[in-house]
Amino acid sequence: VVTLVLALLTGIVAGSGSLYLSGAPDLVAAINGTNEFSPGSEQDIVIHVRNTGVDEVKISQPDGGASGDPPSTARMVTLTLLPGNAPVEIKTNSQMVGDIASGKEVFSTFSVHVDKDAAGGTYLLPLLANYTYLASEEKVGSDSVIFRYNTETVRLDLPFNVRDEVIIAVHHVIAEDLNAGGDGYITLSIENTGTLTGNNTIARIFQGDASPIVPIDGRVFIGSFPPGA
């Protein structure tokens, strides 16, 4: 059995000239730093990508053998951030970050705008990583080597947190019997469309610039103002 195994290994080295028998890139990603954003905000988020791939089996040859990249190296990596189901707009196009060898990392910045009416919660932002890697190498003759590369695209989901906040929407404004020089009432219908309960809530109206309407009593105590109320 030992003699047979040695004969097989000798055949691999002399026949194909491969240095590596296995290995592939393994990319992991996360948002660097804070990961909680307010509705209506526009932020630059930094994405941290690391290659945790390993080359499990390598054959050393006296003559040095082939000189291709390790299979675990992700070459010509392009990162594309998508909104997925998150209430955001991605304002940055795809970015090329170059090669990522095993154990190495890169940082890439994307500009993200959060919808002003975004509900609080955790969403997933898909990050697409497109790259090539060495799939196989074959020795041809005494001084030639064929390198075969594959192209792959992997999806890495990034948790993205939107902060719970009170969001006020005005649905109706009713102003009856308002005449110049007279008094009247303005009735507003407002709703908390956010995901946070407002405590000790007070609604106030103010005189707008150059407005002929002056509030006499522009302050109403609401109290608890839960989502949907």
Taking only the tens place, the pLDDT of each residue in 131-187 is 999 887 777 777 777 888 899 999 999 999 999 989 888 999 998 888 888 888 888
Using alpha carbons, select from 114, 122, 19 the residue that is nearest to residue 64: 19
Chain centroid to CA 29? 9
Would the pLDDT of 9 be above 90? no
Would the pLDDT of 100 be above 90? yes
User: Rounded to whole angstroms, how far apart are CA atoms 95 and 91?
Assistant: 12
**7-16 — which CB contacts under 8 Å span 24+ positions?**
9/59, 12/59, 13/59, 13/61, 13/65, 15/139, 16/137, 16/138, 16/139
Q: In 3-state terms, what secondary structure has residue 7? A: helix
Contact 45, 110 (CB under 8 A): yes
Q: Say how many C-beta atoms besides its own lie within 10 A of residue 156's C-beta.
A: 18
Using alpha carbons, select from 221, 226, 172 the residue that is nearest to residue 195: 226
Query: What single-letter amino acid sits at 83?
Result: P
Tens digit of pLDDT for each residue in 57-73? 666 565 555 556 788 99
